[in-house]
Amino acid sequence: MEGSVSLGRAGRKRLLEVYRRSPEPAVRLRAHIILLLAMGYPWALITATLFCSTRTIDRWKKRFEGGGVGALLGDGRGRRPVFGGGLIEVVVHWVKAHVPRDFGFVRSRWCCGTLVTLMAEMYHVRVSRETVR
């Protein structure tokens, strides 16, 4: 688990730029971790200083070794959203331009549950009523 990373002059310069200028705190943390590893700091000191776990250090160290600085810039956590921008536009169009009866429901007004059912039938997307809300 312990170990440092090899960082050339250009890589260090790029990481410092990311660390200083990225608008995303998570990306700055990743760059900070790699910079400290490259300087040879022990993992225990990094975890105590940055308030992160050794698992976090290991994850970003492996990502950096596999893909360089670019691997630190991508999405870091969580599941990719299923309820993306295109589907949101479709649902908003349904609510504004149609009534549930247009889709075969015996209702006069929309509710979150009806939209969830319709999304499951038409797009095979499973989300909860609270996600739609």
**Contacts of the segment 5-8: beta carbons below 8 A, 24+ positions apart:** 5/34, 5/37, 5/38, 5/61, 5/64, 5/65, 6/38, 7/34, 7/35, 7/38
pLDDT at res. 36: 94
| Residue 80 confidence (pLDDT) | 65
pLDDT in tens, the chain (133 residues): 566 788 889 889 999 999 999 998 999 999 999 999 999 999 999 999 999 999 999 999 999 998 888 888 876 566 666 666 788 889 999 999 999 999 999 989 999 999 999 999 988 888 888 888 8
